[in-house]
Each structure stands twice: as structure tokens, then as C-alpha cells.
Amino acid sequence: MLLPPAPAQQVTYAEPPPPAAGSSGPPRLDTLPAQATAGLPALNLDLHIYASDPTQRAAFINGRRYREGDSLPEGVEVRAITPEGVVLQYRGQRFLLPRQ
């Protein structure tokens, strides 16, 4: 007896949680205190590609291409690519690397 094919698995991409009331999302990199950025490498957002389809999103940071979920060699994580820029996380601190 042949079994019907298994249904295709649906892949979902996590969106950043909506900002809390009175908040506008993670702080911008340039507003973080010095102790939060200690050890953080220089970050340059060369190209920012945002699309409603998460598979089409990408960011070029320091000359290299990254997608949501990737990590830079220095340990910085790409958490989300939003219309405003790239939400990164470093040592537990989330922040926005804004588009220019």
C-alpha cells in the first residue's frame, strides 16, 4: 500500500517583535553608550536590501553579504533586516545599524 506524500514543510522566518508602547525598536548603534560598544568592530552598511519576502533580504556589511540569522566573523549576529536598516546583536545587546 502506498502512502500519500508527506506535506511540504513550511518555513517561517522570525520577524523582530513589535516595539513596546512608547518605544521605536532597538537603539541605533550611534546612540549606544561606550560600554555597550566595547570590543565591537567597525561596522559599515555598504548595501541594504529589504523586501517583504524574507528570502530576498540581504545586507552588505564591511564588504560581505549577510542574511538574517548570519553572523559576522567578529561574533556580531544579524537578527533582522528591516526597512530602517539591520538589527544586529553583540554580546546580548541588540541595536540598529541604520541605512544611510
Domain range summary for the chain, segments of one domain joined by +: 29-33+40-98
Cell 541604520 sits on residue? 98
Taking the C-alpha atoms of residue 25 and residue 7, their distance in angstroms, rounded to an integer, is 37
Predicted confidence pLDDT, tens digits, the chain (100 residues)? 555 555 544 433 344 444 444 456 899 999 999 988 889 999 999 999 999 999 999 999 999 999 999 999 999 999 999 999 999 999 999 999 999 8
pTM of the model: 0.75
**89 and 77 in contact (C-beta within 8 Å)?**
yes
Taking only the tens place, the pLDDT of each residue in 43-62 is 999 999 999 999 999 999 99
Looking at residue 15, its amino acid is E
* Closest-CA residue to 27 (of 37, 38, 14): 37
* Closest-CA residue to 64 (of 77, 45, 79, 50): 45
Give the single-character DSSP code of 8: P
**94 and 81 in contact (C-beta within 8 Å)?**
no
Taking the C-alpha atoms of residue 94 and residue 9, their distance in angstroms, rounded to an integer, is 30
